[in-house]
Amino acid sequence: MAKNQQDKKEKKAQFLPWQAINSFMMQDFQHEVMMEVLGNYGDLTSEQRKSLNLMIKKGAKVNGFRNAAMAPLGIKVSASIELFEQNGRFAATVLASWWTLKPDLSHKVYELLTSRGWEVLPEDADRTKLPGFITQWPKRDEFDVLVAAFREANPEDEYSDNQISLMAVWISGRLPFELVDLLGETEEVAEETETEPEAE
């Protein structure tokens, strides 16, 4: 009985908080993603717009503005990047919003991952409901391999390597913190997941 319990425990997924994505993003790409999200509010869902505005108002600081969400775009982007680096809920909302803006890339990356045997949530699942990123990533599918496979399958597309890689991260719900030979066939959500406090 004890052994079965231990085996079950070992199958539970380990998670990194959403803001851990920043360890894998260059500053210029952070800025690109934030600019795209905050500059295309009209293409986001009303819930995404509401959530982003509330979190920016609460957590971002801009001199001369009581509400940072009302600042000019460039200033708002710069102020929001710090929040993106510190607040897991805000990071997840930004990534989900960026995904909303890229349905073509999302579908193609989803098809790529599933064709390579990845077990992923349905393409339209709300990944922000998860506690964070799963830490395991298949060694055979490091970013450069996935990017090369994407370009072979979609030679006319002009998405950047960073965009393809970030979409693979979001669709899979994983970060390459631990490279493994094979992903487990079943991974259960950990019963206790450490979460970061929201920015005040």
Top-confidence residue, 185 or 129: 129
What global pTM score does this model have? 0.85
Q: Taking 60 as the threshold, does the pLDDT of residue 27 lie above it?
A: yes
Last residue of a domain, one of 62, 82, 101: 101
The rounded distance, in Å, linking the Cα atoms of 194 and 154 is 39
Q: Is 122 exposed, middle or buried (0-12, 13-18, 19+ CB in 10 A)?
A: exposed
- The pLDDT of 118-137, averaged and rounded, is 96
> Which pLDDT tens digit goes with each residue over 48-96?
999 999 999 999 999 889 999 999 999 999 999 999 999 999 999 999 9
Predicted confidence at residue 181, as pLDDT, reads: 87
- The pLDDT of 96-117, averaged and rounded, is 98
Are 151 and 164 members of one domain? Answer: yes
Q: Which helix (H) or strand (E) segment is 28 a member of? A: helix 27-38
- The pLDDT of 180-199, averaged and rounded, is 47
Are 114 and 87 members of one domain? Answer: no
φ/ψ of residue 178, rounded to 5: -130, 110
State how many domains the chain has: 2
Last residue of a domain, one of 101, 118, 145: 101
The rounded distance, in Å, linking the Cα atoms of 21 and 12 is 21
Q: Taking 90 as the threshold, does the pLDDT of residue 153 lie above it?
A: yes
Predicted confidence at residue 14, as pLDDT, reads: 87
Q: What share of the chain is helix, strand, coil (3-state, %, to 5)?
A: 60, 10, 30
Top-confidence residue, 1 or 65: 65
Look at the chain and count its residues. Answer: 200
Are 40 and 94 members of one domain? Answer: yes
Q: Taking 50 as the threshold, does the pLDDT of residue 199 lie above it?
A: no
